[in-house]
Every structure is written in structure tokens, then in C-alpha cells.
Structure 1
Amino acid sequence: MKTAAFIFGLALSLVCVVHAQETGKTQAERVAVLKDKRINESSGLAVSLREPGVFWTLNDSSGEPCVYAIDQTGKTRGKIRIPNAVNFDWEDLASAKAEDGTPHLYIADIGDNLGVRPTITVYEIAEPSLPKDAGKEELSAEPKVWHVKYPDGHHNAETLLVHPLTHRIYVLTKREDGHSALYLFPEKLVSGVPGLLQKIAAVEFPNRHRLGKRPLDASQTTGGAFSQDGRRIAIATYSDIHEWTLKADDKVETVLPTESRIIEVPLTSQMEAVCYDAGNETLWFTSERLPTPLWRIKR
């Protein structure tokens, strides 16, 4: 019995070890510090699919219902106000091309720390072209508004994923114990009519010890993104970035529960935003605390 118990315990320990394959420290470069003090809680990051070298970001809960265009020097290139929108708890931002090839942005109002929201919301807008003096001009973009609800009660979430090829939308929940769940939006969304999310996978983010971080920092998901070719997924926690590689016929719900590659990033005060660049190789991330750094990881 002791031998069997030892083997069982060893097997469990091996499962925990291989769930996430750590790669050690990476060659991350702090490219800039965001200069715009209006961006004081950068909680989402998405690459522009119109403007080379530009990214979009947004503020966390109770901020203006706006997204900001920033460049790689940290300069603000534009601001878009979303009419009739409310920033209840904006937590993530994604970019993807629609079926007609038009670049779109997806704003994720999905945070629910108190567990009280009957629905969560995604605002979808067409990404506008930025005029040369866009930093001085406030633009406006009329959104499509998608309301959805969970099939199994309230959940807090900070991660929105939009598949660049299938156009399907996913939300990944955030929990201190690391027991996250992946939900899929309905394929057909109707504006003004709440859709029902479908739970499609359980994804584990175990606590782990890292100098300068709490163990539970590694278990709380704070943002995510697809690469624009659909072959990579990155999920951020307060401590690290997890990355998965997908083959052409892989399903998201079968890949995310498998072993991830852990990218140990430089210590930041509160990493909540990550994305790939348009070339699908380089990762970019920011921190929610001021001063807001813009980091780059080249591979």
C-alpha cells in the first residue's frame, strides 16, 4: 500500500510539473513608458491592424468609455469614444479582421469582482484610420453591443480571446485558486438580446513560487490574445505569461488545458494586458500601475 501510495503521489507531482513548462527568464525590453496620464490603468492591449507600429489600450473599471491608440515611443496617437457605452469593468481588448477583411476591435466589459452582474458585455467597433494629428482629436465609433450570460452563475473574468480566422469569441474566467474555465460565445449574436455562453474547458493555472511575487499571483489570469495567424495563444497572469502553440486543426478547448510554456517576464507591479504584434512573433505587454511601461519580448 505504501508503494502504491508513493507511486500515486509521484504521478500527481509529475502532472503538476508538466502542466506548465517553465523556460526561465526572457530577453524582454522596456521599449517606452506611456506618456499620457489619462491612461492610468492599462488593462487591455491589442495590436492595430490598420496602423503599423500602433497598439490600442483601455483603462480599467470606472474609466471613460474610450480606447487609446499608442505607438512604440509611448506617445498617444488617438482616442476613440464609444457612444452610449459604460465602463463598468473593462478588462481586456482584442483586435481581429471581420469576415469582410475590415479590422475590428473588441472591448471586453467582463469584470465582476463582486459576482453580481446578470450579463457581461463586449463592444465591437470597426477600427478607424487615424489622421496625422489624431493625438489632438477625439474620434467616435458606433459599436455593436453583445450581451451574454453564463450558464452556471456569476464569474469574474479579465481575458477575452477572438480567433482571427474563425471569428469565434472566448472568455476565460479568473480565480485565486487557479481553476479557470473557458467559455464560448454563441456563433450567432443578436444585438440587444443576451446570448448564452457555453462552458467548453477547464484550465488550471497552479500557484508557484517566484521571488518578488505571491504564489497566487501565478494563478490569476489577467489578459490574453491570439496571434493574428491563429497559431499562438498567450495568457497573462500577475506573474508570468503562458503560451500555447496550435496546429491548423487544433481546437482551443483541447489545447488550453494542456501543457503551456511559461514565459517569466520582468517583475511588474500589475501586468494585465498582453498581445502579439502583427507579425505573430513578438509579444507586447503593459502594467496597470503608473508609470505604465510598454514591454516587448522578441523571439
Structure 2
Amino acid sequence: MKLTTSTTNATNTTENIAIKIAALPSEIKESSGIEQAGKPGIYYTHSDANNPANIYKIDEKGNLLATITLNNAENVDWEDLARDNKGNIYIGDTGNNSNKRKVLKIYKLNPQDPDNLQEITFEYADRKNGTADKAHYEFDCEAIFWHQNKLHLVTKDREDGVQAKLYELPDKPGTYEAKLIEQYEVNQPVTSADISPDGKTLMLLSKGKIHLFHPTATGGFFGGKMQTLNLGKVGQTEGAVFTGNQELIITNEEGHLYRYSF
């Protein structure tokens, strides 16, 4: 896949707003990612950096159903979750606020066998000496998604909040270089990502907004014109997951759960 850079202007609409459906359990400190848990209305989520290495199973009423403690993991800076077609959960320990972390990690979890945790470690292939100092916040990632047997990471440009860079990794344990395949001037720092069940819509989340793309048959994820939708007054939105091709469940740092349809 060729690296592409796109700057197409966005189409904006404010027709719908997100609906608050529940408060998250108090055990969850600044929910930073959410993923489906295999049954309708049931989800996995987690706390942000420097909290216990736990995955929490919740329902849409905000009830805590189970806590999965990962004894072989550390929550350095967990930022997002993804799920493959076999039910494995990928935990992105990919936060890099100060750009000091060179080797990052994604945990691969079978929720039925949490003690058999696998690790995917990686460095960014395009990280060169001198390009990851405090003046270049290019290698902080809060958004991952799984698609066609690969993991995809979307970076959060913390310098100017403009350029979202999309990288690709194998979904198997090992040590890799994350390959840069696309980038797009989203104009907002990206905090989560997911792809719709039918594979036709890529969603990037930012503060109070979602950004929609339509992947093309030729392999580009940032296909067509970006569509930006305002969620309303939802605070600092950090995690989002498709529950249908046009419906999302969203979490924010303030501890609330939202539903949004478009």
C-alpha cells in the first residue's frame, strides 16, 4: 500500500447529538478505550495511565459485571482497545505523551484465558534520531483498530492537532516495526478509532466529534471526503466502538457512557 497524504476539506453536520445512557463504575478511572465483549450491550473498558492492569466488563446501564486482572501486564499508558473476529482483545499500551517511549506494546488477551497474555512490541519505522523530541509530538497513539488480520494505529498529533498518521502491524505476538501507510489532516487530536462491522466506515474520535472515512477497494483507509459530526456536550471523549454500521458507544474521561447514531 502506498503512503498517501490527504488534505480534502471536511463536510460538517450537527444534526444529531450523543445521548448519555449511564455513568461508569467508580473503579474505572478516566476510561480511555471501549470494545464489544461478544454479547449485545456488553463491553470491555479500562482505566488510563498508571492505574491497575485491569479490564472491566460492563453493561449499558453502567453495571460492573466482572474485573479481569492481568497479572503479567503493566498499565504504563493504556489508550484504546480493539477486537478481532475470534474474540481476542488488543490493549494498546501506546500512550507517549512526552515522546520518551521508543518501544511500545500491545497486549493480546483471550478473555477466557487471561494468564496466557501475549505481547506485540513495536517501534515506529519512521522514527529517526532527532524527530521525536519535545518539538515533534508525532508518536503518541490513542487509537487502534483491527481489520483483516492486522492491527492499525492512528497517532495523536500533539504538536498542532492536525496530522493523523496511520500505521500497520501484524496481530501476532512478536517484535515489529510499525509501517506508516497513510496520513490525513484531521485538524483534531485523535483519541480512538474503529471500523464498522461491514468494513465500509472508518471512525476517528476526537474531543466531542467523530470523523468518518470510507475505505476503498484499492486499499486506502482515508478514502473519499472526511465527514465530521459533532456529538454535542460530551466532555473529553476518549473511547468509541461500533455497535452497528451507523451506531457507536462512546466513553469520556468524566466517567459517562453515550450512544450516538448517524
User: Under a length normalisation based on structure 2, what TM-score does the superposition of the two structures give?
Assistant: 0.87
Structure 1 pair 263–188 and aligned structure 2 pair: CA distance change class (3 A): closer
Classify the secondary structure of the residue corresponding to 2:183: strand
Structure 2: how far apart are the matches of 1:198 and 1:105?
Answer: 21
The whole-number CA distance in structure 1 between the counterparts of 2:126 and 2:192 is 22
CA RMSD of aligned residues (A): 2.0
Structure 2 regions of 5+ residues with no counterpart?
Answer: 1-5, 133-138
Counterpart mapping for 1:24-43 below 5 A: 24-34=14-24, 36-43=25-32
Measured at CA, do residues 188 and 108 of structure 1 come closer, stay the same or move farther in structure 2, by a change above 3 Å? Answer: closer
Q: 1:53 to 1:189 in 2, by over 3 A?
A: closer
User: Aligned to 1:276, which of 227, 235, 242?
Assistant: 242
Map 1:237-248; keep pairs closer than 5 Å: 237-246=206-215
Q: 2:64 aligns with which of 69, 76, 99?
A: 76
Within 5 Å, give how 1:84-99 maps onto structure 2. 84-97=72-85
Residue 224 of structure 1 aligns to a residue whose secondary structure is strand
**Residues 123-162 of structure 1: pairs in structure 2 closer than 5 A:** 123-128=107-112, 140-153=114-127, 154=132, 155-162=139-146
Asked whether 1:293 is paired with 2:262, we answer: no
Following the alignment from structure 2 to structure 1, what is the Cα–Cα distance between the partners of residues 144 and 57?
Answer: 19
Q: What whole-Å deviation, never above 9, does each CA across 1:120-171 have from its counterpart, x for those lacking one?
A: 111111233xxxxxxxxxx8442110001012224111111111xx121111
Distance of 2:207 and 2:100 partners within structure 1: 24
Distance 1:141 1:54, change over 3 A: farther
Whether the aligned pair in 2 keeps the contact of 1:80 and 1:141 (CA below 8 Å) is no
- Tell me the CA shift for residue 258 of structure 1: 4.2
Q: Could you tell me how far 1:280 is from its partner in structure 2?
A: 2.9
Secondary structure of 2:79's aligned partner: strand
For 1:152 and 1:29, locate their aligned partners in 2 and report how far apart those are by CA, in whole Å.
Answer: 40
* Other-structure match for 2:12: 22
Cα offset for 1:255? 3.3
Counterpart mapping for 1:163-242 below 5 A? 163=147, 166-176=148-158, 177=160, 178-185=162-169, 187=170, 189-191=172-174, 194-206=175-187, 219-242=188-211
Quickly say closer, same or farther: Cα 1:296–1:262, change in 2 above 3 A. Answer: same
Give the number of equivalent residue pairs. Answer: 245
Query: In the alignment, which residue of structure 1 is the partner of 2:3?
Result: none
Taking the aligned partners of 1:200 and 1:24, their CA distance within structure 2 comes to 31
Name the structure where helix makes up a greater proportion of residues.
1
| 1:119–1:147 CA contact under 8 A, matched in 2 | yes
Pairing partner for 2:100 from 112, 116, 129: 116
Query: Structure 1: which 4+ aligned runs deviate by more than 6 Å?
Result: none
Cα separation, 1, equivalents of 2:123 and 2:172 = 12
For the pair shown, the structure with the greater C-alpha radius of gyration is 1
**Aligned partners of 1:272 and 1:287 also within 8 Å:** yes
Does 2:50 align with 1:62?
A: yes
Gap change, CA 1:63 and 1:124, over 3 Å in 2: same
CA drift at 1:190: 4.3
Work out the CA distance in 1 between the residues paired with 2:214 and 2:201. 5
Tell me, yes or no, if the aligned pair for 1:203 and 1:257 is still in contact at 8 Å. Answer: no
How far 1:188 sits from its partner (Å)? 7.1
- Matched-pair contact (CA < 8 Å) for 1:83–1:143: no
Structure 1 residues 24, 198: closer, same or farther in 2, change over 3 A? same
Offset at 1:245?
2.7
